[in-house]
């Protein structure tokens, strides 16, 4: 417990007694620490500057960023990695709004996170009298997150923090907003009473045991399938039920497809991995077991492009009942936490489980081997300037040699190619653009991954994607984090070859300054900058960075003609067919 001040009272006998006082600042810090939260990601300023200072003084790790969105992304991914809500701390109005994108993104991705923002006084905000950075932040946050709370009295801070933690972690995890008006932080309270008002959250994410009849129904559906498939999503990775999931997959004998952030939950080299036969298993499977994955746009809603014409039956494991039937009929819904659901399903399948037919396994394996063989020579090409395959072939080997490193990945082509080319070997090692396919997560994720895990981080970034959070390389240098950023520099968005159709002096809308030297940005802050033009140079520089742990930025020169429009989701980018004279 931290007491901030002392006050002098007069006791009933007329003598003086000294009472210890605490205040809103210290109660917020004590409440977080009492619940095992040791790190805050944020940007200092009015009215929370002292909150950050005092938190650091009380032994918390306080990581200051250059922009709130990056601090918010860091908090979100810290939540994903640890199952404890990541904390993002911002100033009022503009800082709060900057953090809000990350909060909404966390909610969309089911990451537990709490955005704590200072705010102006209610009396002035509610009468709209024009306070410094006046904004009704609670009302604005509410539709964009899972829950939003405001605390007005210091003796409610304990309850406010407890509610925020429970809302973020329980059921389907998500983002929570906690509004702390400036005057609350300065309110004082008797230290003993303040301490007593704090709440230690017991079992913030209670297990949710599925109904036995739901398990029996699922076993019936699965046992009657001929061409079964498992799809593992990032909910399965989040659940930290790695061993239970491996046992279920191996007992079932089903081929499985990992969604992007579920790669490595089982190693991508696992015999049952159907990653390299993705289009075949989606099209030809007759029964699909979804584990912590949603049938959203990333899976063509379970019925669109790529799913084939024959009807399929779905079994779905999810903690959120309303996820069922969201896009297609779910023949056997299993509602509960993944650890419980998966281990009960494993038991119900029993020792004598016979697995899928030989023909199905052979068909999947044949396609897998053919695709891998077709890809192998492309990954070893030494073209200069590099293409995506040559450069990613080099990084693929580095990741194989450092399986505990964390891969952060964003971009368009840089994302799509890296996702399929770079194999992952351990759970929760691949962090990327997630459900929204959002750009800008890169440096925030990289910082938090390094802070939370202590492992080396490799951030593979398109040059455009990097620009959204690039200033945070100063943060990486300031905290001396083991982060190696590789910028795939192809001079622009998708490609670097567009020209202004009018022939006028303005650059085309999708291109950047040609041959930019992103490596020199890193040098400006004392990190290591490398300019790499060949797969060999890229490989050597990346290995050196992973071994040294020094902040490094490698500018990888990629052929500006190499990319495709919107990477693999060009179909989502409407194109005009109208030609004007
Ligand atoms: P992906 O993009 O990899 O398919 P999604 O984020 O779309 O993954 O889906 C994750 C799903 O996992 C969500 O529907 C979420 O409700 C669910 N989920 C998250 N954590 C758990 C858990 N511990 N137990 C069960 N389901 C979970
Ligand atoms: Mg680019």
3-state secondary structure 229-294: EEEECHHHHHCCCHHHHHHHHHHHCCCEEECHHHCCCCCCCCCCECHHHHHHHHHHCCEEEEECCC
Distance from Cα 542 to the centre of ligand 1, integer Å: 33
Q: How confident is the model at residue 9 (pLDDT cuts 50, 70, 90)?
A: low
Whether pLDDT at 367 is above 70: yes
Q: In what helix (H) or strand (E) does residue 334 lie, and over which residues does it extend?
A: strand 332-335
Residues with C-beta less than 6 Å from any ligand 1 atom: 109-110, 172, 233-235, 238-239, 259, 261-262, 292-294, 296, 298, 318-320, 323, 337-338, 435
* Best residue for ligand 1 mutational test, from 294, 343, 431, 435 (most atoms within 8 Å of Cβ): 294
Q: How confident is the model at residue 5 (pLDDT cuts 50, 70, 90)?
A: very low
CB 499 within 8 A of CB 523: no
Whether pLDDT at 89 is above 60: yes
**Cβ atoms within 10 Å, residue 388:** 24
pLDDT value of residue 99: 98
CB 176 within 8 A of CB 114: yes
Pairing between strand 16-23 and 188-190?
antiparallel
Ligand lying nearest the CA atom of residue 299:
1
Give burial (CB, 10 Å; 0-12/13-18/19+) of 45. middle
Distance from Cα 454 to the centre of ligand 2, integer Å: 29
DSSP code at position 508: P
**Cβ atoms within 10 Å, residue 330:** 21
Structure tokens at 70: 């990056």
State pLDDT tens for residues 286-336.
999 999 999 999 999 999 889 999 899 999 999 999 999 999 999 999 999
Q: How confident is the model at residue 566 (pLDDT cuts 50, 70, 90)?
A: confident
Residues, Cβ < 5 Å to ion ligand 2: 462-464, 490
pLDDT value of residue 567: 76
pLDDT value of residue 19: 77
pLDDT value of residue 571: 80
Pairing between strand 457-462 and 16-23?
unpaired
Q: Round to whole Å and give the CA distance between 199 and 32.
A: 10
Per-residue pLDDT, averaged over 21-42, amounts to 98
Residue 292 CA, closest ligand 1 atom number? 12
Per-residue pLDDT, averaged over 38-56, amounts to 98
For atom 5 of ligand 1, the residue with the nearest CA is 293
Q: What is the largest CA-CA distance in the chain?
A: 96
Three-state SS across 110-132?
CCCEEEEEEECCHHHHHCCCCCC
State pLDDT tens for residues 104-114.
999 999 999 99
Structure tokens at 117: 């923002």
* Residue 313, SS3 per DSSP: strand
Residue 336 CA, closest ligand 1 atom number? 25
Per-residue pLDDT, averaged over 500-507, amounts to 96
Ligand lying nearest the CA atom of residue 111:
1
State pLDDT tens for residues 386-419.
999 999 999 999 999 999 999 999 999 999 999 9
State pLDDT tens for residues 469-490.
999 999 999 999 999 999 999 9
Ligand lying nearest the CA atom of residue 430:
1
Mean pLDDT (the chain) is 96
Whole-model pTM over 0.85? yes
* Residue 57, SS3 per DSSP: helix
Number of H helices, E strands in the chain: 22, 20
Whether pLDDT at 581 is above 70: no
CB 181 within 8 A of CB 150: yes
pLDDT value of residue 86: 99
Whether pLDDT at 57 is above 90: yes
- Nearest CA-CA partner of 304 in 574, 577, 572: 572
- Nearest CA-CA partner of 324 in 341, 339, 308, 310: 341
State pLDDT tens for residues 131-188.
999 999 999 999 999 999 999 999 999 999 999 999 999 999 999 999 999 999 999 9
* Best residue for ligand 1 mutational test, from 113, 319, 436 (most atoms within 8 Å of Cβ): 319
Whether pLDDT at 491 is above 80: yes
Whether pLDDT at 1 is above 80: no
Q: Round to whole Å and give the CA distance between 177 and 350.
A: 44
């Amino acid at each position: 417990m931290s007491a901030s001040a002392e006050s002098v009272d007069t006791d009933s006998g007329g003598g003086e007694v000294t009472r210890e006082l605490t205040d809103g600042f210290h109660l917020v810090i004590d409440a977080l620490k009492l619940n095992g939260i040791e790190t805050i990601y944020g940007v200092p300023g009015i009215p929370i500057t002292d909150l950050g200072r005092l938190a650091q003084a009380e032994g918390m790790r306080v990581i200051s960023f250059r922009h709130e969105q990056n601090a918010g992304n860091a908090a979100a991914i810290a939540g994903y990695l640890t199952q404890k809500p990541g904390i993002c701390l911002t100033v009022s109005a503009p800082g709060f709004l900057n953090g809000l994108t990350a909060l909404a993104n966390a909610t969309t991705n089911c990451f537990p996170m709490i955005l704590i923002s200072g705010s102006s006084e209610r009396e002035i905000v509610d009468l709209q009298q024009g306070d410094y950075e006046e904004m009704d932040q609670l009302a604005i946050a509410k539709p964009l997150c899972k829950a939003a709370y405001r605390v007005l009295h210091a003796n409610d801070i304990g309850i406010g923090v407890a509610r925020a933690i429970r809302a973020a972690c329980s059921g389907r995890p998500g983002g929570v907003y906690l509004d702390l008006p400036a005057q609350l932080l300065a309110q004082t309270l008797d230290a003993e009473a303040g301490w007593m008002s704090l709440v230690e959250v017991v079992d913030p994410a209670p297990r949710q045991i599925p109904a036995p009849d739901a398990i029996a129904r699922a076993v019936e559906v699965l046992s009657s399938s001929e061409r079964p498939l498992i799809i593992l999503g990032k909910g399965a990775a989040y659940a930290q039920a790695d061993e239970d999931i491996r046992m279920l997959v191996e007992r079932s004998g089903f081929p499985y497809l990992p969604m992007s952030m579920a790669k490595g939950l089982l190693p991508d080299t696992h015999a049952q991995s159907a990653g390299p036969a993705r289009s075949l298993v989606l099209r030809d499977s007759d029964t699909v077991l979804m584990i912590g994955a949603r049938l959203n746009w990333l899976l063509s809603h379970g019925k669109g492009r790529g799913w084939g014409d024959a009807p399929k039956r779905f079994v779905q494991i999810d903690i959120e009942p309303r996820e069922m039937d969201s896009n297609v009929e779910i023949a056997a819904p299993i509602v509960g936490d993944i650890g419980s659901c998966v281990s009960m399903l494993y038991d119900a399948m029993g020792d004598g489980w016979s697995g899928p037919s030989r023909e199905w396994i052979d068909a999947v394996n044949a396609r897998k081997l053919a695709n891998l063989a077709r890809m192998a020579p492309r990954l070893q090409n030494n073209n200069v300037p590099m293409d995506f395959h040559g450069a990613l072939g080099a990084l693929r080997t580095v990741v194989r040699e450092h399986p505990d490193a964390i891969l952060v990945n964003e971009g368009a082509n840089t994302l799509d190619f890296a996702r399929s080319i770079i194999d992952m070997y351990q759970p929760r090692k691949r962090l990327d653009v997630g459900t929204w396919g959002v750009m800008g997560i890169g440096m925030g994720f990289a910082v938090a991954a390094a802070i939370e895990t202590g492992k080396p981080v490799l951030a593979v970034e398109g040059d455009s994607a990097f620009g959204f959070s690039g200033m945070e390389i100063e943060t990486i240098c300031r905290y001396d984090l083991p982060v190696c950023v590789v910028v795939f520099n192809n001079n622009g968005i998708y490609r670097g070859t567009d020209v202004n159709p009018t022939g006028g002096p303005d650059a085309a809308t999708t291109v950047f300054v040609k041959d930019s030297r992103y490596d020199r940005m890193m040098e400006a802050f004392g990190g290591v900058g490398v300019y790499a033009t060949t797969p060999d140079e890229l490989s050597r520089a990346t290995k050196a960075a992973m071994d040294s742990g020094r902040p490094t930025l490698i500018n990888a020169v990629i052929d500006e003609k190499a990319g495709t429009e919107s990477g693999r989701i060009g179909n989502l980018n409407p194109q005009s067919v109208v030609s004007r004279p």
